[in-house]
Amino acid sequence: MDIILIIFSLLLPIAWFFGYRKGKVLSSESDSEQHLGLSRKYFTGLNYLLNEESDKAIDTFVSMLEVDSETVETHLALGNLFRKRGEIDKAIRIHQNLIARPSLSSEHRKQALMSLGYDYMAAGLLERAENIFKELIFDSHHKTSSFKQLLQIYQQTKDWQNAIKIAEQLHQSGHKAYNREIAHFYCELAEIQINDHAYKQATPYLKKAFVIEPQSARATLLSGNIYHVTGQFKQAVRTYKNLIKNDIDILPAALDNILDCFDKLGDHKGLLTFLREAIEQGAGISVILQYATELQSRENDHVAAKYLADTMIKHPSIKGLLELINLHLKHSSESGRPSLLMLKDVVTKLLKNKPVYQCGNCGFSAKTLFWQCPTCKSWGNVKPIRGIEGE
Ligand SMILES: [Zn+2]
């Protein structure tokens, strides 16, 4: 019912104005006929609204309102209102009706086109939206908004080449820096090649990502992965090492490969040095636990447990506590065992279903790493959750 009130309040003054103006312009003979005509249509529309037949009401009001500089804003407002309410088909009808009017000024036509573009976006009709925004990039007033919409379309359709072109245009216009986005688009192109095992073809995209964002953690990770998968373990380690200074939060994503590289190189000492350096630079619990595991296998459980207990004073962590309980369980007395098992059960339940990653921009959380946040669509903001329950 609220939409009826909104439409009614929007249209009532227009209807009055329209009737009043027509009344002034028309001769006294036709005046009463026209006024009667308007009133009849107006009340028919109103009747439809009151009967909640909003489709028929829109048709009636649209045909009733003469589209000119006075009423065009109302048409636009009404269309946008419908889109915001999710009634996209009605918004499209209103905006299409506006554009079809030959008397419409050029500026109003562009405004209506822009609105129709937003309608198509909301309806998922991306190809139609793309055509509209491509037309509007040549208009100085709508240029930036159109570029932004096109960028959104190309990201949704994973058309990364076009996304790069548009982001570069926006970047050059100086409105906002788009380095991070462009680097991610190149990484997307590289990943397509990597998934096809076309590692040589992936490398030029990663190089371009580094040119636009030299510290790109994703490009660093992907470069390291290529070296690892092609058996270039020394280069892989050297590349992964850059993650420590570029973005230490991403290091856990490379941890398995790092272990494999050192293993293949037979360089256990090198692994310990690598992990120690990462921990000193602020690496999270995954790296700390890995270091403890290495101590456990090379030294013994007691050395690993002591290291964990000492580290947890500075870095309290539920995951660390769970590992500590596991280590103590192996050597516990019969009397102490039930308490440790109960503690393990509680800690395991605490960790269960906890999200591992969170978007620093909108708070979206997940169990896997997303380079683009599925909720706010920003790039590179989803990171491992830090603190006692996370990394
Ligand atoms: Zn987000």
> pTM for this structure?
0.80
Rounded to the nearest angstrom, the distance between the alpha carbon of 157 and the centre of ligand 1 is 19
Rounded to the nearest angstrom, the distance between the alpha carbon of 367 and the centre of ligand 1 is 14
Rounded to the nearest angstrom, the distance between the alpha carbon of 285 and the centre of ligand 1 is 24
Query: What pLDDT score was predicted for residue 57?
Result: 72
Average pLDDT of the segment spanning 90-118: 91
Cα–Cα distance measured from residue 259 to residue 271, given in angstroms and rounded to the nearest whole number? 7
Read off the tokens for 354: 């906890």
**Are the C-beta atoms of residues 48 and 60 closer than 8 Å to each other?**
yes
With a cut of 80, say whether residue 109 has pLDDT above it.
yes
Cα–Cα distance measured from residue 208 to residue 98, given in angstroms and rounded to the nearest whole number? 45
Rounded to the nearest angstrom, the distance between the alpha carbon of 380 and the centre of ligand 1 is 9
Rounded to the nearest angstrom, the distance between the alpha carbon of 180 and the centre of ligand 1 is 15
Rounded to the nearest angstrom, the distance between the alpha carbon of 365 and the centre of ligand 1 is 8
Rounded to the nearest angstrom, the distance between the alpha carbon of 278 and the centre of ligand 1 is 27
Share of the chain above pLDDT 70, in %: 84
Cα–Cα distance measured from residue 112 to residue 101, given in angstroms and rounded to the nearest whole number? 11
Average pLDDT of the segment spanning 187-195: 98
Quick: pLDDT tens for 278-297: 999 988 888 999 999 999 88
Query: What pLDDT score was predicted for residue 32?
Result: 44
Rounded to the nearest angstrom, the distance between the alpha carbon of 355 and the centre of ligand 1 is 14
59-73, 79-93, 329-343, range with the lowest pLDDT: 59-73
50-59, 84-93, 122-131, 304-313, range with the lowest pLDDT: 50-59
**Cα angle 149, 152, 154; round to 5:** 110
**Mean pLDDT, the chain, integer:** 85
Rounded to the nearest angstrom, the distance between the alpha carbon of 252 and the centre of ligand 1 is 21
Rounded to the nearest angstrom, the distance between the alpha carbon of 292 and the centre of ligand 1 is 33
Rounded to the nearest angstrom, the distance between the alpha carbon of 128 and the centre of ligand 1 is 27
Cα–Cα distance measured from residue 188 to residue 207, given in angstroms and rounded to the nearest whole number? 13
Q: Is 255 exposed, middle or buried (0-12, 13-18, 19+ CB in 10 A)?
A: middle
Rounded to the nearest angstrom, the distance between the alpha carbon of 194 and the centre of ligand 1 is 26
Rounded to the nearest angstrom, the distance between the alpha carbon of 384 and the centre of ligand 1 is 13
Rounded to the nearest angstrom, the distance between the alpha carbon of 254 and the centre of ligand 1 is 23
Burial string for 202-238 (b: 16+ CB within 10 Å, else e) reads bbebbebbbebbeebbbbbbbbbbbbbeeeebebbbe
Nearest Cα neighbor of 91 from 51, 123, 68 is 123
DSSP, collapsed to helix, strand or coil, labels residue 254 as helix
To the nearest 10 degrees (0 to 180), the angle between helices 301-314 and 285-298 is: 160
114-128, 137-151, 169-183, 316-330, range with the lowest pLDDT: 316-330
DSSP, collapsed to helix, strand or coil, labels residue 379 as strand
Rounded to the nearest angstrom, the distance between the alpha carbon of 87 and the centre of ligand 1 is 26
Rounded to the nearest angstrom, the distance between the alpha carbon of 59 and the centre of ligand 1 is 40
Rounded to the nearest angstrom, the distance between the alpha carbon of 219 and the centre of ligand 1 is 21
Q: How confident is the model at residue 24 (pLDDT cuts 50, 70, 90)?
A: very low
Residue-by-residue DSSP string for 309-345:
HHHHHHS--HHHHHHHHHHHHTT--TTTHHHHHHHHH
Query: What pLDDT score was predicted for residue 4?
Result: 52
Query: Which amino acid type is present at position 284?
Result: G
Q: How confident is the model at residue 341 (pLDDT cuts 50, 70, 90)?
A: confident
Q: How many residues does the chain have?
A: 391
Nearest Cα neighbor of 188 from 215, 211, 214, 208 is 208
Rounded to the nearest angstrom, the distance between the alpha carbon of 361 and the centre of ligand 1 is 5
With a cut of 60, say whether residue 11 has pLDDT above it.
no
**Are the C-beta atoms of residues 69 and 108 closer than 8 Å to each other?**
yes
Query: What pLDDT score was predicted for residue 169?
Result: 92
Can you give 358-371 as a three-state secondary structure string?
EECCCCCEECCCCC
- Identify the bridge partners of residue 391 per DSSP, sorted by sequence position: none
With a cut of 50, say whether residue 22 has pLDDT above it.
no
Average pLDDT of the segment spanning 36-43: 58
With a cut of 90, say whether residue 254 has pLDDT above it.
yes
Rounded to the nearest angstrom, the distance between the alpha carbon of 213 and the centre of ligand 1 is 21
Rounded to the nearest angstrom, the distance between the alpha carbon of 159 and the centre of ligand 1 is 21
Q: C-alpha 222: how far from its chain's center?
A: 21
Read off the tokens for 114: 């822009």
Give me the half-sphere count of Cα atoms (radius 13 Å) on the Cβ side of residue 348: 8
209-213, 257-261, 314-318, range with the lowest pLDDT: 314-318
Query: What pLDDT score was predicted for residue 172?
Result: 87
Alpha-carbon distances of 130 from 108, 150, 238, rounded to whole Å:
20, 6, 43
